[in-house]
Chain A
Amino acid sequence: MDELLKILNRNALETPENIAKMLNVPVSEVKNRIAEYERSGIIRGYQAILNEDQLELDRVTAVIEVKVTPEREGGFNRVSMRISRFPEVQSVYLMSGAYDLLLFVSGKDLKEVALFVSEKLATLDGVLSTSTHFMLKTYKQHGVLMEKETEDERLQVSP
């Protein structure tokens, strides 16, 4: 992956000026490349990584395995796109193995998510079965640990 993307992927707030210094290229080039990535759709957006457990939100997240019948033309794409458009659905992945789609769905409480599954998801044409697991605690997401790591234990000056 382009080093520029690696930097942004880790810290989207990094300024073009600093990125230019790190990569040893002109600032204008960094800005152009970022603009190009945004235009081409490689960069899809910038978000903060939240430790939601700490926020004590009234919110639950379920991981749902879905089996679907692929269509003659378009395979899994059409049904996946239909599922993806529901605002309750956070992420959708096509999987290999025992089921076809993996969804991350959030809602206010267990009941709300259950209702979504039984009324919206399971009733879609092409959906054969679903299996819902509720998430209890997040330890790590997007490569970031949700608990702060221990302090730097190195000696402050060493040879």
Chain B
Amino acid sequence: MNDFKSPRDFIADHVRDIPRSGIRDFFDIVSTRKDVISLGIGEPDFDTPWHVRESTVFALERGATHYTSNMGLLELRRALSKYVRKTFNVSYDAEKEILITVGVSEALDIALRALLNPGDEVLYHEPCYVSYRADVIFAHGIPLTVNTRMEDGFRLTRAMLEEKITPRTKLLLLNFPNNPTGAILPEADVREIAEFAKKHNLIVITDEIYAEMTYDGRHVSIASMPGMKERTIFLHGFSKAWAMTGFRLGYACAPAEFTEAMMKVHQYTMLCAPTPSQKAAVEALTNPERDIRLMTAEYEKRRNLLVSAFEGMGIPCSRPAGAFYAFPCIRQFGIGSKDFALRLLDEENVAVVPGSAFGECGEGFVRCAYATSMDNLKEALARISRFVGKLKAKSK
């Protein structure tokens, strides 16, 4: 007899030790119910622009069903080089500095795997996108987090980073506009954080997937700061601004040596991004302003409606300047964010995501995505208002 115990014993420690995502737990509960209005969806409600879908079909008809080069279609990299220069004010060489990936998800994964040695620390801010912690650990890195606070509008400052950094810190990971808080990074802070990165010789990975959805102020990429292109890996994709989540298409822009290293990981694990999606992305870049403006104008109105509704309910909520999330504080009700979300679902059939899914400091908050129709949003807000009315009446 050999001593086979359970499959669990064979799973790698660092994988087993990562808890299941709070989002997945919550999804399992929500998906058993009918007629839920969901503010829990982290993807656009808009359809992918029709010209993009139409040209994908055309590409399939024409036989775009084979592998592309590992780096991705040159035609697409050229179009991206132009788009990134125009939108973010940084120039990347289409031949050597742009790598097409399966979403920002893959781009982040290969960036971390290409750069981290076991035990290297990655400094990032919470509340944040649910994958960061796990991705760092999968790459045998050590997560090092700073907490942003509602009282400061979830701003990230140089001082907060200076306080946390250690000699083992190698990477700084940024995400603005932010999921789940909607916070952006104003230009003055970008400058300061760039100085911080240079002073400590850090490489910056910047996830700017929501950049086009900036409603107040102007989006500034850290990659465009003096002396920063050399030490920045810029990640972006088509999921959010073009409503193309299911196409699974993103890209990484970085100096040639970083790109080459990421390419190695990408080549041996992914081969290339889906070809029809790459063709779709070429089309998406033909008139990006028009497609994006239509959607962002609508998000902005919803954002305004949402923020003023929370104000009316007496729920503190930092005004999100970007992305399509609001992160209101529900501490006053004396229940945890998971409890709040479960009871709201139970009593009013509205789904929001408990803030704790985005890091410990997200406890006391819930994430409300306004990527849903104005009518749904209005109905959801009416129900939330009724729900918090009941909570308030009880706690008196």
Contact partners of B305 in chain A: CB under 8 A: 18, 21-22
Q: List, sorted by A's number, 27 A–B pairs whose CB atoms are closer than 8 Å.
A: A3-B301, A6-B297, A18-B305, A18-B378, A21-B308, A22-B301, A22-B302, A22-B304, A23-B301, A24-B304, A152-B45, A154-B45, A155-B27, A155-B31, A156-B27, A156-B38, A156-B40, A157-B23, A157-B26, A157-B27, A157-B30, A157-B31, A157-B353, A158-B41, A159-B23, A159-B129, A159-B130
Q: Mark A118-155, 1 if CB is under 8 A from B, else 0.
A: 00000000000000000000000000000000001011
Q: Who on chain A is nearest to B129 by CB?
A: A159
B301 touches A155 (CB 8 A): no
Q: Does B165 contact A (CB under 8 A)?
A: no
The chain B residues found within 8 Å of chain A, CB to CB, are 21, 23, 26-27, 30-31, 36, 38, 40-43, 45, 129-131, 179, 297, 301-302, 304-305, 308-309, 351, 353, 357, 374, 378
Contact partners of B27 in chain A: CB under 8 A: 155-158
Contact partners of A6 in chain B: CB under 8 A: 297
The answer for the CA separation of A21 and B381 in the assembled complex, in Å, is 13
Contact partners of A152 in chain B: CB under 8 A: 45
B38 touches A157 (CB 8 A): yes
The chain A residues found within 8 Å of chain B, CB to CB, are 3, 6-7, 11, 18, 21-24, 152, 154-159
The answer for the CA separation of A6 and B40 in the assembled complex, in Å, is 27
B301 touches A7 (CB 8 A): yes
Which of B26, B297, B309, B351 sits near A3, CB closer than 8 Å? Answer: B297
Which of B31, B38, B42 sits near A159, CB closer than 8 Å? Answer: B42
Whole-angstrom distance from the CB of A102 to the nearest CB of chain B? 25
A155 touches B297 (CB 8 A): no
The answer for the CA separation of A23 and B42 in the assembled complex, in Å, is 24
In the complex, the 10 A-B pairs of residues with the closest C-beta atoms, listed nearest first: A22-B301, A157-B40, A157-B27, A21-B308, A159-B130, A158-B42, A156-B38, A21-B305, A156-B30, A24-B304
The answer for the CA separation of A23 and B303 in the assembled complex, in Å, is 10
B45 touches A158 (CB 8 A): no
Q: Who on chain A is nearest to B29 by CB?
A: A157
Contact partners of B351 in chain A: CB under 8 A: 156-157
Contact partners of B131 in chain A: CB under 8 A: 159
Whole-angstrom distance from the CB of A71 to the nearest CB of chain B? 40
Contact partners of B353 in chain A: CB under 8 A: 157
Contact partners of B36 in chain A: CB under 8 A: 156
Identify 7 new A-B residue pairs, CB closer than 8 A, beyond the known A23-B301, A158-B42: A7-B301, A21-B305, A21-B308, A22-B301, A156-B36, A158-B27, A159-B42
The answer for the CA separation of A158 and B357 in the assembled complex, in Å, is 11
Contact partners of B309 in chain A: CB under 8 A: 21
The answer for the CA separation of A157 and B131 in the assembled complex, in Å, is 15
